[in-house]
Amino acid sequence: MRKSHYQIARRRSISSMTSAQSAVPEREELLTLARAAALQAHAPYSHFRVGAVVVADGQLYRGVNVEISSYGLTLCAERAALAAAVSAGARRITHVAVACIDAPPTAPASARTPCGACRQWLADLAPQAVVYIDGLEESLTVKDLLPYAFAL
């Protein structure tokens, strides 16, 4: 049986994320890891599987969207990855990669970028991070995504 690109990337991502990282992976590698993570998403209602990878203190943390029947309590992939990093004690988040593997190739940027809640989490926890969105050519900053973020 032939293995898919996602299965191969997933196997690599699991081993990559458990070992110490000496250098930040490149944009395409991070997006590949985010796509692989999205395969684990629990999206029985929207069928919109999203994966995210966060680089923090030189380590990789992944997250997926987890939908439940009460939509407002659904956890987005970006927040799951950020929470994993913070829970592990990471402090300096430098890169975030997000991929929705079910977005059609013609989907606009608004269908690919983080929701408002995730943008605020990024503003609070990763204000200097470089953000990569699968399907968008340009790299973004958190300020690009949320120019007037709430702050205390």
Enumerate the active-site residues.
78
Closest by alpha carbon to 31, among 118, 117, 115, 96?
A: 96
Q: Tell me the two tokens of residue 78.
A: 């970006």
Distance of CA 67 to the CA centre of its chain: 16
Beta strands in 102-152 (DSSP E): 130-133, 140-141
Q: Do 15 and 39 form a contact (C-beta atoms < 8 A)? A: no
Instruction: Spell out a b/e string for 23-45, using b for 16 or more CB atoms within 10 Å of the CB, else e.
Output: eebeeebbbbbbbbbbbebebee
Burial of 110 (0-12, 13-18, 19+ CB in 10 A): exposed
C-alpha–C-alpha distance, residues 126 and 147, integer Å: 14
